[in-house]
């Protein structure tokens, strides 16, 4: 499991993504049909985010509500005061952009006011699977 150990040490966005992809390729059983994560596990990972984000529409904390965030344009939630960087970002939140932003917010989007990264890059697939369920009913 050296890939997993390495990924805990590396926090820079691109390299964490590369290591994560490498670890996923190694640990996925042959013929596994999808790289999608486990939303139930992701809900637990979301505790890292809940101090600043709710999953209810229009309820903002230090960060905007993440209800419906997957597939949404960055910086588009009404009633939340984003950084200029986020307001002007030409980004749609999908697996790729969320993985990169969560690994290294300021590396992906210099000037963002989100100062905290996802602790372990290997949690990104589960967390994103959970984010996908928000507002998708």
Q: What is the contact surface with ligand HEC in residues (CB under 6 A)?
A: 48-49, 51-53, 62-64, 66, 69, 74-75, 77, 82-83, 85-86, 93, 102, 112-116, 118, 127
Nearer to ligand HEC, 9 or 115 (CB): 115
| Contact by Cβ (8 Å): 3, 16 | no
Q: Is 109 exposed, middle or buried (0-12, 13-18, 19+ CB in 10 A)?
A: buried
Smallest gap from residue 94 Cβ to ligand HEC (A)? 11
Smallest gap from residue 64 Cβ to ligand HEC (A)? 4
Smallest gap from residue 29 Cβ to ligand HEC (A)? 27
| Contact by Cβ (8 Å): 61, 52 | yes
């Amino acid at each position: 499991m050296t890939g997993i150990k390495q990924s805990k040490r590396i926090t820079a966005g691109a390299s964490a993504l590369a290591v994560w992809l490498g670890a996923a390729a190694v640990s996925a059983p042959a013929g596994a049909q999808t790289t999608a994560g486990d939303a139930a596990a992701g809900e637990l990972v979301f505790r890292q985010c809940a101090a600043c984000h709710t999953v209810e529409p229009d309820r903002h904390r230090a960060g905007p509500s993440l209800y419906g965030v997957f597939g949404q344009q960055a910086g588009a939630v009404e009633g939340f005061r984003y950084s200029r960087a986020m307001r002007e970002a030409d980004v749609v939140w999908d697996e790729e952009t969320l993985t990169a932003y969560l690994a290294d917010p300021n590396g992906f989007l210099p000037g963002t006011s989100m100062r905290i990264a996802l602790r372990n890059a290997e949690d990104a697939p589960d967390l994103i699977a959970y984010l996908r369920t928000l507002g998708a009913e």
